[in-house]
Amino acid sequence: MFSDSELVLLRSILQQDLLKAIWETLYMTFVPAAAAFVIGLPLGVLLVTGDEGGIRPLPKALMKALNALINLLRSVPFLILLVVVLPVSKLLVGTTVGSKAMLAPLAIAAFPFVARLVETSIREVDAGVVEAAQSMGASTWEIITKVLIPEAKPALIANFLVALITIFGYGAMAGLLGGGGLGALAVNYGYYRRKEAVLYVMVILMIVLVQVFQSVGDRLVKKTDKRSR
């Protein structure tokens, strides 16, 4: 099926570059995911609590601006956003190529998505429970930290998993524009040099990684959720 020279190349890639590529892929997934989570969690909570009728309504204009910003960032396709944001990377890490340069664009692409996912997770919390906490004299901060986030935890984990896999996908795409990892190997060898064996192996590895993320995440959700026993 594949020529001998192709298989030799594949073997040398597997021996020399694979571990580094896997490491870069994980790095480009988890670091931006963590950053997106740190920004997206408070933002998503704010979208719920600051809403008209939320526990701490904020000025309508502010909420509209916030929603508009999130929608705007979400409507730009990732590769285009990447091109636009790369100068920021240059500023932050001094380069526009390699895995490190992809961190900021990935985080910027992911946090609005995470904010929306957090918003939907938090909205699922029964309003009655929030009301009960209010009737007990809980402050806004106490309601957020002791009611909204803990009660939404299973949904938050499940949705964060969705975000993680999306970021993983973006990271692979970043291979087209100078990023590293499995995506870069697949693009550089499989697309530009027509070495399909490398392409297929990379695709299989990526599928396996996603499966691992998903099944670990699913187990975590099941363990966390105390509603269905």
Provide the binding-site residues for other proteins, judged by CB under 8 A. Answer: 126, 128-129, 131-139, 142, 146-147, 150-151, 153-154, 224-229
Shortest Å, Cβ 139 to other proteins: 6
Length reported for the chain? 229
Shortest Å, Cβ 22 to other proteins: 35
Q: Kindly report the number of other CB atoms within 10 A of residue 57's CB atom.
A: 12
Question: Could you tell me which of 10, 12, 17 has the C-alpha nearest to residue 197?
Answer: 10
Angle 221-224-226 from CA coordinates, rounded to 5° = 115
Within 8 A by CB and 6+ apart from 160, the residues are 33, 37, 114, 117, 217
Shortest Å, Cβ 219 to other proteins: 17
Angle 37-137-56 from CA coordinates, rounded to 5° = 45
Q: Cβ closer to other proteins: 59 or 227?
A: 227
Q: Cβ closer to other proteins: 65 or 129?
A: 129
Q: Cβ closer to other proteins: 20 or 146?
A: 146
Shortest Å, Cβ 60 to other proteins: 16
Within 8 A by CB and 6+ apart from 90, the residues are 96, 101
Shortest Å, Cβ 80 to other proteins: 40
Q: Cβ closer to other proteins: 138 or 177?
A: 138
What whole-number distance in Å separates Cα of residue 197 and Cα of residue 139? 59
Shortest Å, Cβ 12 to other proteins: 51
Q: Cβ closer to other proteins: 28 or 125?
A: 125
Q: Cβ closer to other proteins: 75 or 227?
A: 227
- The distance from CA 98 to its chain's CA centroid, rounded to whole angstroms, is 19
Which two structure tokens, joined as six digits, stand for 7?
Answer: 């298989």
Q: Kindly report the number of other CB atoms within 10 A of residue 50's CB atom.
A: 17
